[in-house]
Chain A
Amino acid sequence: NAGVTQTPKFRVLKTGQSMTLLCAQDMNHEYMYWYRQDPGMGLRLIHYSVGEGTTAKGEVPDGYNVSRLKKQNFLLGLESAAPSQTSVYFCASNGRLNSPLHFGNGTRLTVT
């Protein structure tokens, strides 16, 4: 039972570098989400997708892009990393509205 898998688990970037975080789910869920977790701020939604080929902005989308080319994958990209993007990133999915989200174990990103 893999559930939601995030790669990589850890990454250190220099300011200005780019990277892609990968999220894969094997539950055939329609809805997928990227959140960031920062101390004292809970989880804030970056982008989300309500189905293959669709994406939408969340609460804090600036500096990030996403793609959902396949139903099972949701990619989060940072084109030019900034220290303010140092955070723990969580991917989540669910199969229907008002149902609980299933979370991955997170990616800890540090931008120096």
Chain B
Amino acid sequence: GNSVTQMEGPVTLSEEAFLTINCTYTATGYPSLFWYVQYPGEGLQLLLKATKADDKGSNKGFEATYRKETTSFHLEKGSVQVSDSAVYFCALTDSGNTGKLIFGQGTTLQVKP
């Protein structure tokens, strides 16, 4: 089946720093790719998505580009805020018609003022 490998954390940044969280995947076919964010005590929320090669997903200043040649979907933000502190999960659709998502292990981001 498909799989995803995510940069290990925790990642600690100062406010206004540049953020990159690496995500690479192994897949058959053409999966859709997602980034989810989890704030403390809450469920996962969709942050952005991309459904085909070279698509760029963006939301709330975060961006990620579907790179088929490098099988990557790295998350970036130009200037992080304290409120961005959360756990970030990279995910992709699994093969087969089930709608399942395969998740990375999550990366904890802490932003200090």
B residues near A97, Cβ cutoff 8 Å: 93, 97-99
> How many residues in B have their beta carbons less than 8 Å from beta carbons of A?
23
Alpha-carbon distance between A45 and B42 when the two chains are bound, in angstroms = 18
Per-residue CB proximity of B8-39 to A under 8 Å, as 1/0? 00000000000000000000000010101000
**Chain B: which residue is nearest A9 at the CB level?**
B41
**Chain B: which residue is nearest A43 at the CB level?**
B103
A93 CB, nearest partner CB in chain B, Å: 9
Alpha-carbon distance between A65 and B83 when the two chains are bound, in angstroms = 38
Per-residue CB proximity of B72-113 to A under 8 Å, as 1/0? 000000000000000001000100011111011110000000
From B46, B98, B103, B104, contact of A100 by CB (8 A): B46
B residues near A4, Cβ cutoff 8 Å: 43
Given the known inter-chain contacts A98-B32, A100-B46, A104-B43, please indicate yes or no for A50 contacting B105, CB distance below 8 A: no
From A41, A48, A98, contact of B93 by CB (8 A): A98
A49 CB, nearest partner CB in chain B, Å: 10
Given the known inter-chain contacts A105-B42, A105-B43, please indicate yes or no for A48 contacting B34, CB distance below 8 A: no
B7 CB, nearest partner CB in chain A, Å: 12
Contact in complex: B99, A99 (CB < 8 Å): yes
- B51 interface hit (Cβ, 8 Å): yes
B residues near A90, Cβ cutoff 8 Å: 43-44
Per-residue CB proximity of B37-75 to A under 8 Å, as 1/0? 000011111100101000000000000000000000000
Contact in complex: B89, A42 (CB < 8 Å): yes
A-B contact pairs, 17 of them (CB 8 A): A42-B6, A43-B103, A48-B98, A56-B98, A90-B43, A90-B44, A96-B99, A97-B98, A98-B51, A99-B99, A100-B46, A100-B49, A103-B44, A103-B45, A105-B42, A105-B43, A106-B43
